[in-house]
Structure 1
Amino acid sequence: MMHSRDHVLQRALAVLDWNRRNLNTASVLDEAAVGECFADHFVVEPNGRRYEATRATYLTFLNGMKAGMRGIDYDVLHTLVDAQSVALSILAHISHDDDRRETPRPCCSCSSTTTARSRYGMRFMSRSHRVEPGCSP
């Protein structure tokens, strides 16, 4: 099915909104909630590694990731959109319950890049920076 570019972009941005609402300690996720934005089977590519995922395995990952997490927000840097797909280049800002923050710093070697495809065929690339010893803010 063909969609307009605006429709496809809005679906991609809806996934980021879903993350903002659901990726925190207080949220309760289940496979149906994961299915709101992700297909039955999809691929996640964190830091150059490639993983086949299902809603069940991604739910396990998300529940582990969001433990102790206050929230996540994004800066959308670039979008590539056609009538069928979207690629977003984003910087992810993650805050934790213990007041730690992971903030973007693309020039640092401690940065990490993650890509994932949503159920709508959209590809997300995010970069976050975990403050580690030896890294200057």
Structure 2
Amino acid sequence: MCESKIFQEKVAVGYKTAWLLWGEFSATDSPPEAARGAESAIVQGAVLVHSAVDRGLIQFDVSVGAEPQDWLAKEWTSELKGRQTIDGSLLIMSLDMSSEEPYENLGEIPPGPYDITLRQWHDESHIDAIGDKSGTERAWIHLAPCDQEQ
């Protein structure tokens, strides 16, 4: 079993949206049009994380390689799977306009095709709690190299 690399970052979210980006995206680029407005999307160059609240915080946990066993037992409210080729730095972007720097650079991973699993969790009681930053949501994103045995 290969080792897992884990990135963790908490970001403020604005307009119900945050992305995990890679590839040609930089601090001046925006996510692809295909990843805008969908409830959840895995498209070339991005994973969209659609939050339950207009404003709040999302805790991103991104694993690369072997999925940590304790993640499999966690509770989540939605799950989405897909496959994309990833090359370049992993970036987290939010549309939170109060942030001076909307991007968090997580670093680079080996290029190649990855199976992507996005799992999200939010407290249903915070769905209409606009501005309630106490209701932190979670996004677990696992990136498994396609040549890795599952």
Query: Is this a same-fold pair by TM over 0.5?
Result: no
Structure showing the higher strand proportion among its residues: 2
Structure 2 length as normaliser, TM-score?
0.27
**Larger RCO, structures 1/2 (Cα 8 Å, 6+ apart):** 2
Give the TM-score, by structure 1 length: 0.29
